Structures are given as C-alpha cells and as structure tokens.
Amino acid sequence: MRLQSLPSAQPRFFIGVDGGGSGTRVRLVDDRGRALGQGEAGPSALGQGIEQAWEHVQLAIERAFAQAGLPLAAAADCALGLGLAGAHTPARCDRFMAAAPAYARVALDTDAGTALRGAHRGAPGSIVAAGTGSVGEALRCDGRRVSVGGWGFGIGDEGSGGWLGLASVRIAQRALDGRASAGPLARAVWRVAGGQRDALLDWAAVAGQHGFARLAPLVFDSADADPAARRLLDEAAHALVEMAAALDPAAELPLVLIGSIAKRLAPRLPKEWLALVVAPHGDAIDGALLLAREPRVLA
C-alpha cells in the first residue's frame, strides 16, 4: 500500500475508487459517510499508463460530484482511497503517487486489496476472485496479508475466464488438426473464432486476454454435452481451491468468491470449502472508502 497526506488536513469528502483495465468506478461520500454521488470513466489500470489512470480517476470524480449536484471540491478537501489493477508493482505505484494532485489523503492499494477490505469490512478473511483474470487475497488472524495468483494472462490466472478461453481454443485447434474429436465445445469455438486454420490463427493473434475470456461462457454452455468442457471446468474449480488453500491452509477464514467465473464454478468446489463461503459485506469501492478513512498497511 502507498499513502501520502497533507499535514493537518481535515477532509470534507471521502472518495472510493475501483479501477481496472475496462473502467473506473467512483463513490463520493461526506465526512459522515453519507453517499452523495457516483461516477464512471475509462480504464485506470496502472499497466495502461499513469497519465491515463489519473485522467480517468479525476474524470470519474468530477462526474460523481456532478451527479451529487455539487461543485467539484478542491483536492485538499478530499481523501482518496484507490484500489487499482496493476498496483502490485512498486515502480508503477511510486510513479502514480508522484503524479498525484494535492489531495488531503491518497491511499493506494491493488483492486484485490480493496476487494478484500470491502468483502470482510477490514476483518480477517479471504477472497478468491475469478473473472477475466484470477487472484486470491487474505488477511489472516495474525494480521498478515497474503496474496496468491494474479500472475497475469498466459502465465497464470488459472481458473479465470481468460484461462478457460485459451484452453478452449487449444481444444478447437486439436480438433481442427484431427488430434481430437470435434465435440460441442470445439465447434462452438469455431463458430466464434473461425473453423479454418488461417481464420483461427488470425483470431488468436489479436484476441488478447479479453477476447479469450469472451469464450469462457462457451465452456459452461457445452459442459452438459461435452466431457472436454466438463474437464476444463473441473480443472478451473481445482485451481480456485488451490488458491483458497494457499491463502488459508487451516481452512478457518470466511471466504468470499468474487467475479462471474468464480460464482459459476462455486457448485464444483468441495463441500469443505463451500462451507466457508459467505456473502460479502461490501465491494471494492467500500474497501477503497475504508482505505480513505483509515489508511493502514495490511502487512
């Protein structure tokens, strides 16, 4: 986590920011915690550029004040808590904080970190998040924070939508080659990405993480009729269990599943892990607001 504050600042407004590779969401509250407005803007993942991140964060803040019917407050009157994708890289965090306007307080964590805070209201617990990518975070009872996964598309993100999509394209490739039979999943991928070698190669060359993740629903839709799709879903569920076990070896912490893929895989988790699953107290923006109000490092 990164933190910087103005001496003796007394913020009038607290702003929670949840920023990723597809968009930025902001919630504005007053010093009593009353919700005033919300705003959205483009992506603010740090890996896409520091200048862009601040541009979209500030645009979303402007829109939140506008929705609240308020003039944009001076930065010195605002405390900002941010959970941003890519904030696990120290050099990026340093550049982002160096470019920060003079807010009363700026507290930066990863989007997984603020999701963890929001899910358990800052109390011990764990999260396993699987959407386009995957990551796990936990705050253990001894106060130690642990992160697993989140290594990124192609080399990690097991159990995620991107991982499922990439695996389904491999199945489609093998079927095209005649190395495997063409089941319902392979044929579904062909309909989206191309049923000829050149077409499938061209599609895969430009798809990127989000393009592959858009194939993940095909795996779920094919599972009843296709053993290959079922095996992929079982492997994905096992990957989420591995993350949960690494976060909480004693299986004693409440567990929140976050993201569309994690929720769809939940019925495939073993009973002992499903027994730990609880509903989240809040989301990543709630966690970012906690960060803005009570900035502290979860070590």
Q: Residue 298's pLDDT is what?
A: 40
Residue 38 lies in a domain: yes
Does 299 fall in a domain?
Answer: no
Q: Spell out the residues 6+ positions from residue 32 whose beta carbon is closer than 8 angstroms to its own.
A: none
Tell me the C-alpha distance between 278 and 5, whole Å: 35
Beta strands in the chain (DSSP E): 2-5, 13-19, 24-30, 35-41, 78-84, 105-110, 125-130, 134-139, 145-149, 255-258
pLDDT above 90: percentage of residues in the chain: 82
pLDDT of 120 higher than 50: yes
Residue-range definition of the domain harbouring residue 72: 2-121+282-293
Q: Could you tell me the pTM of the whole model? A: 0.84
Contact 105, 292 (CB under 8 A): yes
130 and 263 fall within a common domain: yes
Whether residues 106 and 188 fall in one domain: no
* CA atoms of 132 and 225, how far apart (whole Å): 24
**Does one domain contain both 141 and 260?**
yes
Same structural domain, 82 and 47: yes
The confidence score (pLDDT) of residue 85 equals: 85
Each residue's pLDDT tens digit, 156-175: 899 999 999 999 999 999 99
Our separate counts of H helices and E strands in the chain read: 11, 10
Q: Are residues 90 and 162 in the same domain?
A: no
The reported pLDDT for the residue numbered 22 is: 77
- 64 and 211: one domain? no
Q: What is the number of domains present in the chain?
A: 2
Whether residue 298 is contained in a domain is answered as no
User: Same domain, yes or no, for 145 and 22?
Assistant: no
Residue 8: the pLDDT is 66
Same domain? 111 vs 178 = no
Question: Would you tell me how many other CB atoms lie within 10 Å of the CB of residue 200?
Answer: 19
* Same domain flag for 239 and 117: no
What is the distance between the alpha carbons of residues 188 and 170, in angstroms, rounded to a whole number?
13
Would strands 125-130 and 2-5 be described as parallel, antiparallel, or unpaired? Answer: unpaired
Provide φ and ψ at 235, rounded to 5°: -65, -40
Residues 184-231 have pLDDT tens digits of 999 999 999 999 999 999 999 999 888 999 999 999 999 999 999 999
Nearest to 24 by CA among 96, 89, 101, 83: 83
Do 150 and 262 lie in one domain? The reply is yes
**Domain CATH code at residue 11:** 3.30.420.40
- 80 and 138: one domain? no
CA distances from 152 to 13, 92, 162, 223 (A): 35, 16, 10, 26
Give the list of residues 6+ apart from residue 284 with CB closer than 8 angstroms, or none.
18, 83, 111, 114, 115, 118
Residues 288 and 267: their CA atoms lie apart, in Å, by 30
Strand order in 255-258's β-sheet? Answer: 145-149, 134-139, 125-130, 255-258
What whole-number distance in Å separates Cα of residue 108 and Cα of residue 121? 17
